[in-house]
A and B are shown apart, each in its own frame.
Chain A
Amino acid sequence: MKTPEERLNHFNACIESEVKIEPKDWMPDEYRKTMIRQLSQHAHSEVIGMQPEGNWVLRAPSLRAKKILLAKIQDEGGHGLYLYSAAETLGISRDEMIEQLHSGKAKYSSIFNYPALTWADIGAIGWLVDGAAIVNQISLQRTSYGPYSRAMVRICKEESFHQRQGYEIMTTMMNGTAEQKEMAQDAMNRWWWPSLMMFGPPDNESAHTKQSMQWKIKRESNDVLRQRFIDKTVDQAHFIGLTVPDKNMKFNESTQQYEISPIDWEEFKQVISGNGPCNHKRLSHHIKVHKQGKWVREAALAFSKNQQKNKATLFTN
């Protein structure tokens, strides 16, 4: 047995030398809490993120598009499950996490509180929202908690198809009729700023960044990741003729980076605190479906118990 001080030293030495923290390892309570908060928020985001896209499954413009969208939504569900499992290794149950989502104690990404109004939004979500998520998740592959890191590696492998399918939709529409181009630009206008907000508040206002960086839970700051996404994405937009909805954006020759106008953080705060266009809809839908599934879970458990009982009878006879 080690003393509390030896344990803390061992933990800090692991973090320092890039040795991953594993579920049964000792860790500071605050590390565990932070990790659970981040993992559950990430998992909830994947699952809630299925809703805006699910809205278009029955209206996809072709069978090809429908099959792709279904596969993408199934991936998002899978990603949620990898992340819930990783969170469960820290001692929180799946029920607790779902309860916290339903009570509002646990958050999910504010981006999914915006509606997917047209088919072009499915393109914009894949290209911009998944694109932003990929930038964040690539960085998180190096996070200090082993199960989170492994989930991120798996998720990153799958995400790049999501971004490409979104960009393909946008490209197709930009090569189409005037109405289709207008629709694509409209989706770009509505999703650009919320996508930038996905990286979280600016570094000097981010409540958790400093400690999370020390523990290597986060490897790069919100602003660094946001800038990386901007620099990648602006060129992709221009390539297919889309305009970035930011008149004052300029390219800085010396830093080789795009400088954007200030982000409307008031909107971010409003959406986070429950006043986005779809907050109520997303959550109440999740609660409703979860309740509807209750009898299925009960029946499955009852069936399993009966099977075991029958097996026991078989042996005793």
Chain B
Amino acid sequence: MSTTDNQLPLWEVFIQSKSGTPHKHAGSIHASDKNMALENARDIYTRRGEGRNIWVVLSDQIAASKTEDEAEFFDPADDKVYRHPSFYKVPDGVKNM
């Protein structure tokens, strides 16, 4: 990549579609700073009222687990069925639990 001409840093865009719902990854955009990133994200991902709030974060600031290590990585939760309510026996007749 030439140093004198480039397409500006890469940002990931997260959009909240409705109040109370979580922000969801929508895609990425290029921008030189936060304000440009927010405006570009708005113009590219919310032309039809898809969002009410946007987060942008520089792509190289995101750490991610590896899908190929999925089994090992999530393994600690595999043998802990007692974390689920259905694991427990509740005597017949007990209500509101």
Give residues in A with beta carbon < 8 Å to B.
Answer: 2, 7, 10, 22, 24-26, 71, 74-75, 78, 81-82, 85-86, 88, 93-96, 98, 150-151, 154, 158, 294, 297-298, 300-301, 303-304, 307
Q: What residues on B are CB-neighbors of A24 within 8 Å?
A: 64, 66-67
Contacts of A74 on B, CB cut-off 8 Å? 43, 47
A-B contacts, 8 of them at CB < 8 A, read A2-B68, A71-B47, A75-B47, A78-B43, A98-B7, A297-B7, A303-B33, A304-B33
A309 vs B32: C-alpha distance when bound (angstroms): 14
- What 0/1 pattern do residues 9 to 51 of B give for CB contact below 8 A with A? 0100000000000000001111011001000000110011000
B7 lies within 8 A of A94 (CB): yes
Cβ-closest 5 pairs across A and B: A300-B32, A94-B7, A304-B33, A304-B32, A85-B28
Contact, CB under 8 Å: A81 / B8: no
B68 contacts which chain A residues (CB < 8 A)?
Answer: 2, 7, 10, 25-26
Which residues of chain A come closer than 8 Å to B6, judged between CB atoms? 93, 95, 297, 301
Q: Please report B residues at the A interface, Cβ cutoff 8 Å.
A: 1-2, 4-8, 10, 27-30, 32-33, 36, 43-44, 47-48, 64, 66-68
Docked pose: A294 CA to B5 CA in angstroms = 7
Contacts A24-B67, A81-B44; A303 near B32 (Cβ below 8 A): yes
**Structural contact, B32 and A94, CB atoms closer than 8 A:** no
Chain B residues within 8 Å of A71, by CB? 47
Question: How close is A75's CB to chain B, nearest CB, in angstroms?
Answer: 7
A119 to B89, CA, bound (A): 73
User: Which residues in B have their C-beta under 8 angstroms from that of A25?
Assistant: 67-68
Q: A82 to B64: give the CA distance in the assembly, Å.
A: 21
Residues of B within 8 A of A2 (CB): 68
Complex Cα–Cα for A71 and B43 (A) = 11
CB distance from B36 to the nearest CB of A (A): 7
